[in-house]
Amino acid sequence: MDSRRLCVIKIGGSLLRDSKSYLESAQKIREVFIENGYKTIVVVSAVKGITDKLIQVAKGSQEALRYVSEKYLEIAKELNSVKIIRRVDEELKRLEIVASAISGGGIDLSLYDLLLSFGERISKILMVGALEAVGVSALELHANELIVTNETFSDASIDYISTSANLEKLYSSIIDNPAIPVIEGFIGSTIDGRITTLGRGGSDYTATTIASLLNIDAVYLVTDVDGIMTTDPDIVENARLVRVMSYRESLEAALHGAKKINPKAFEPLEKFYSSKLIIGSWSRFGTEIVREISRDLWGPKVIMNRESQGVSYIAIVGEGTSSIPFIRRVLEIIDRNGIDIVGIQSYVYRPSLLVYVTPSYELKILRLLHKELFEGV
């Protein structure tokens, strides 16, 4: 198999709600990728909301445990495979044992991560069932056997050397087989086999690690929106898709709280192999994130209003936004409209400009700057 025909697809939890959504994702994987001659490695998240429920389970909520069990069993039953139902049932029984051990006393961190891991693990079993239901042969991989991490439970970092050895061994055994490997995101394990989790949004990190360690060119992050937007469309109705961003821009946006990508996901891409990230929904993949962008693509990419420690600010992210001409341009726009600001912050080595504002002007400045900088007026 030519690694250029291989890609990684991460299915976000926002897409996984019920049996229909698993089948739809499976169908799309088939239509968009497999029927076009691509082989994929699929990384799955937990069903939407399940991780939060599992956190409640760790705090002793029987109701949350019931919710998780019923939700997953319902999906399994609708997929209508005896094998999948029995597998999910076995996992749920294990989950109950872990939950009862946790509620017994103080929370042990390794048990806590083990508990959270059931969300993704069961989701993976369901995705394999859904792929098989639409006629695609699929194979479960196990993150706890492949993704080796340090011992920072709940926010673990991946040990790339051990993980790469595991991935290569597996790769050579399964790559010639047409079956689609499916792995759960967000999960890893310590060298001595204790389950860890990679922190919120950790499935992106799993996906980029696998891609970069296996030299795979493209990572599709599939979610319920068409891509990264220039700003929050609920605030600015003319918000539009960002076509291309660099890792640096995207990381900067993530650091200012754009929730698209876990910042850790960029580390393997910077270190080993610069796979392209393609973000979007099954109807449209609107945004590409690449290692570097050419000079003519410099400029503001994303603008957002944030708050940090009680201070409101507008963050403008993009290569060139920390240059003097750009800062001057922004200040002129604000000044021309007779608005006061609290301050600005920018470092030449970071692709962002922060404009501190009084809360009453926040949305006004956001809309104004979006209009002037993004809407081509």
Partner 1 sequence: MIKRIKIVVIGFGSIGRALAKVIALKRKTINNKYGILIDVVGVVDSKGMALKADGFDEYELLKLCEVPRSGVNLFKPYAYQGVDLDVLYNSTQPDVHIELTPSEYSSGEPGISNIIYAINRGVHVVTANKAPLVLKYREIMSSALSKGVEIRFRATVLGGTPFIDTLMSLRSHDIERIEGILNATSNFILTEMHEKLVDFNEALRMAQALGVAEANPTLDVDGVDAAAKMVIISNILEKPLKIEEIYRESISRVTLRDIIDAVRQGYIIKSITFFDVRGGKASIKIVKIPKSDLFAQINGIMNGVRIRSDATEIVFIGRGGGGIETAHSILDDVISIALHYS
In three-state form (DSSP H/G/I as H, E/B as E, the rest C), the secondary structure along 177-199 is CCCEEEEECCEEECCCCCEEECC
- Range in contact with partner 1 (rule: CB under 8 A) among 96-104, 216-224, 271-279, 309-317: 96-104
Task: Output phi, psi for 82, to 5 deg.
Answer: -55, -40
Contact 203, 120 (CB under 8 A): yes
- Contact between 80 and partner 1 per CB under 8 A: no
- Range in contact with partner 1 (rule: CB under 8 A) among 167-175, 226-234, 240-248, 339-347: 167-175
- Contact between 191 and partner 1 per CB under 8 A: no
- Contact between 121 and partner 1 per CB under 8 A: no
Contact 51, 197 (CB under 8 A): no
- Contact between 310 and partner 1 per CB under 8 A: no
Least Å from the CB of residue 89 to partner 1: 8
Task: Output phi, psi for 371, to 5 deg.
Answer: -60, -50
- Between CA 38 and CA 84 the distance in angstroms is 26
Q: Are strands 180-184 and 195-197 parallel, antiparallel or unpaired?
A: unpaired
Nearer to partner 1, 88 or 239 (CB): 88
Least Å from the CB of residue 35 to partner 1: 20
- Range in contact with partner 1 (rule: CB under 8 A) among 67-75, 97-105, 198-206, 211-219: 97-105
Diameter of the chain measured on Cα atoms: 68
- Contact between 193 and partner 1 per CB under 8 A: yes
- How many chain residues interact with partner 1 (CB under 8 A)? 31
Cβ burial of 349 (10 Å; 0-12, 13-18, 19+) is exposed
- Contact between 256 and partner 1 per CB under 8 A: no
Q: Which residues of this chain interact with partner 1, rule CB under 8 A?
A: 82-83, 86-87, 89-90, 94, 97-98, 100-102, 104-105, 108, 110-111, 114, 125, 128, 139-140, 169-170, 172-174, 177, 179, 193-194
